[in-house]
Amino acid sequence: MLKVREIVDILNADVLAGEENMDMEIYSACGADLMSDVMAFVKESVILCTGLVNPQVVRTAEMMDINVICFVRGKVPGEQVIELAKEKGITILATKNPLFIACGKLYQAGLVGKGVWE
- Give the C-alpha distances (Å, rounded to integers) separating 28 from 2, 18, 24, 31, 112: 9, 19, 13, 10, 5
Q: What is the pTM of this model?
A: 0.93
At 117 the pLDDT is: 41
Q: Is 42 helix (H, G, I), strand (E, B) or coil?
A: coil
Higher pLDDT pick, 100 / 44: 100
Quote the pLDDT of residue 115: 53
Span 59-118, pLDDT tens digits: 999 999 999 999 999 999 999 999 999 999 999 999 999 999 999 999 999 998 765 444
Map residue 81 onto helix, strand or coil. Answer: helix
pLDDT-derived band of residue 38, with 50, 70 and 90 as boundaries?
confident
